[in-house]
Amino acid sequence: MIAGGQAQRGVAEIGVSTTYLERLGARSKKAGTVLCLGLDPDLDTLPAGFSRDLAGLERFAALLLEAAVPFAAAVKPNLAFFEAHGSAGLAALERLRGGLPSDLPVIADAKRGDIGSTAARQATALFDQLGADAVTVNPYLGADAVSPLLERIDRFAYVLCRTSNPGAGELQDLVVAADRATDSPAERLHERVARLATGWGPGGTVGLVVGATAPDELARIRALAPGLAFLVPGVGAQGGAVEPVLEHGPAAVGPAGGQPGHGLLVSVSRGIAGAASAGAEGDPFERVRAAAAEWAARLPVLP
């Protein structure tokens, strides 16, 4: 998809012998933060001076990355904001991905998950073609649908567990019956997802998406999955507090617990990108840079 395989070289330069969690830990230590830069540029919110078309969107995304990436442990492009522009939008995403530092983990926020053969093609598209280090995954179809996205020891999948949107509890908080086959008690659906995910994959290739807007649930999920890496959206514009995330987000044991940052990533998107439009004075680049630096300081790598 990228001429010359630019997307694939980012991982190859680091060496496929390293795991995703090792690469994430090294980058977290280097940046001194667990900040994950969310990349979801929208035509409706582009700052003044950027054309309301794909060219303007790509130019703003490039500015955002240049200004904020030095302060980030990872970057998480939301594929929908590029897919909405068809093949040209995907080409723009590929160009942006090809220009990122080789040591920066890239998480494709795609929320994939389907029957095994389809999931295998999704893994090829996201890992091999786009060059993503990790992907967000929907577990609704069960373990066999997630498995193709977990089997590569150098890549990673974040399974949606308890999300940050207002309607998350409609399904995720439903109580499911006890299951003797998995030795699971009656519990909420998101708790069952967390419990099951601890046994998925070869080990060290699965984590959970847990929203900052549900701090009590975050603490409970951490108790159920003490060794899984967490990707936490919902701070900033969605109103989630940082303190509970820093308390309960880091993994205590396992491959994630042994790395700098303890497998925690806290995603901030609008809280950084929105700085470009804040106020009429100053350079948008510098405003974004300052916002990224502030968020990085609020989300330090804790001992």
Catalytic residue numbers, as ranges:
111
- Spatial distance between the Cα atoms of 188 and 243, rounded to a whole number of angstroms: 24
Long-range Cβ contacts of 89-95 (<8 Å, 24+ apart): 89/54, 90/1, 91/1, 92/54, 92/57, 92/58, 92/61, 93/130, 94/1, 94/2, 94/6, 94/7, 94/130, 95/2, 95/58
Residues 6+ apart with CB under 8 A from 173: 188, 189, 190
- Torsion angle, CA of 46/47/50/56, rounded to 10 degrees? -30
Q: Which residue from 78, 67, 79, 71 is spatially nearest to 36, judged by alpha carbons?
A: 71
Phi, psi of 278 (to 5 degrees): -80, 115
Strand-strand pairing, 229-232 and 156-162:
unpaired
Place of tokens 């929908």: 80
Q: Which residue from 279, 262, 266 is spatially nearest to 240, judged by alpha carbons?
A: 266
Residues 6+ apart with CB under 8 A from 299: 33, 34, 35, 242, 246, 266
